[in-house]
Structure 1
Amino acid sequence: MISAEDISANRYIPKLPAVPFEVDEDEGIAVKVEGDRILEVNGIPISDLSVDDVARILNRVDCGTVTLKLVPSDLLSASSSAVSHIYLRAQHDYNGRDDIRHPCPEVALSFSKGDILELLVCNDDHWWQARRIGSGAFAHCEDNRS
């Protein structure tokens, strides 16, 4: 009850510093977009480093300047789209909702013999992510042991 009163009285809202009226446009601030890949931090290649090692590099920065070398996500997606697609023709009917081995049967893709499936993710030993061609863009997990 007390916490509800505190919340309604705005006692837990953080106090933010005032926004500066003038902002220096030459700060060189860049925004890292989700999906961007970081190649270097302050000139140090990080592709073989752990997250902890990268954190140590960032903690050693004393002048407040961090330089990142990034590969933008749009370049990564363009290069990954050049990967050849894998298509399969179903050799039997499959009803994913009735498969007791399926980890999430409510989103399973069902298909009939002769349907064309495009494999999207094949990195699991037991399940593939696929979509049925010609029936929308929904992706589902499929049992690859069938």
Structure 2
Amino acid sequence: MPLSRKVSQGVTFKVEAGELVIARILHGGIIDQQGLLHVGDVIKEVNGRDVSQDPRVLLEELQAASGIVVLKILPSYHETIPPRQVFFKCLYDYDPASDTLIPCKEAGLRFETGDILQIVNQDDINWWQVCIYKAKRN
């Protein structure tokens, strides 16, 4: 089972086959806004330190950084398909704070019955990213 970690800039990574791989990028986060990193990219070094075998080195370097962070990455090559616009209407209320199964409550989105959500990322079949398109009117 791959090891998974979250970094506050909105990226989750995993160790897979001895390499540190970007597993997910949170829509709207710093990493997503910059557009420089992509799911599947392999992080080789951070500020000259090898991170491929130990994700704790990445966390240490990012926490210690007080300015520019230099990453050496092996980019993933995949064809970019334009996202389709998908919306849905909520049939029940949801609060991530009370969900015992969500691994990162800060990334969860609270919504109410009648809200309309827009799916903004479906890269992970088990964890879609959405935003509230239109909140229900009282």
Q: With structure 2 as the length reference, what TM-score do the two structures score? A: 0.37
Higher helix proportion, which one?
Answer: 1
Higher strand proportion, which one?
Answer: 2
Larger Rg: 1
Q: With structure 1 as the length reference, what TM-score do the two structures score? A: 0.35
